[in-house]
Amino acid sequence: MSSAAELLDQLVLLAPANVEDWLRERAPSSAESNWLGLAEVAGQEAMRIEEKTALDWARVSIAVRELIAKTTDDKSYRQNQVRNAMTLRVAMINRFGPAIDDPVRDSASIYRWFLDRHSGQLDRANSDSSRWQSLSIERIRELRQIKNELIVLRDLQHSSEAEAAEVHGWMEIWPRLP
């Protein structure tokens, strides 16, 4: 068994708060760490157990994914980690309800994540969505990334009318995106 796998086995036996303490002392590039494995296991724990501990494990998973995203040079991998963190947050909101005082369950921050990234891009995306087959592969990938991010928002069951209204135009073009 590798040291990364052994470390992961040890970490998942700790309380989430102890794992968070451990995370603060480490850099994601540490060779002994299986960062993605930790994020996955913590996310699975968050999905299977009761509220308080589930939210603690969600915080661990989100923190690890954010660390990975901050340190990777791979844009696609970074976006995937951030999107997976947002997906877990949506699952926690859907399961336990929104709470503006809890970063994990603040639905407005999920909308901001999307809207801040795509401010002023709706008209171009709308135009490109009707002719995406003729676009460059890079633009097709960008549009696909937008669609993947919209899936996160679409799955959010608890949001205000104002939040939903802000992304309404995006949701209308969602079916046409590659």
* pLDDT tens per residue, range 117-164: 999 999 999 999 999 999 999 999 999 999 999 999 999 988 888 888
* Model confidence pLDDT, tens digit, residues 75-118: 999 999 999 999 999 999 999 999 999 999 999 999 999 999 99
List helix spans (H) across the chain. 3-11, 16-24, 35-48, 51-71, 75-96, 107-117, 122-129, 137-154, 161-166, 168-173
Average pLDDT over residues 30-35: 63
Domain ranges of the chain: 1-98, 106-177
What is the pTM (predicted TM-score) of this model? 0.85
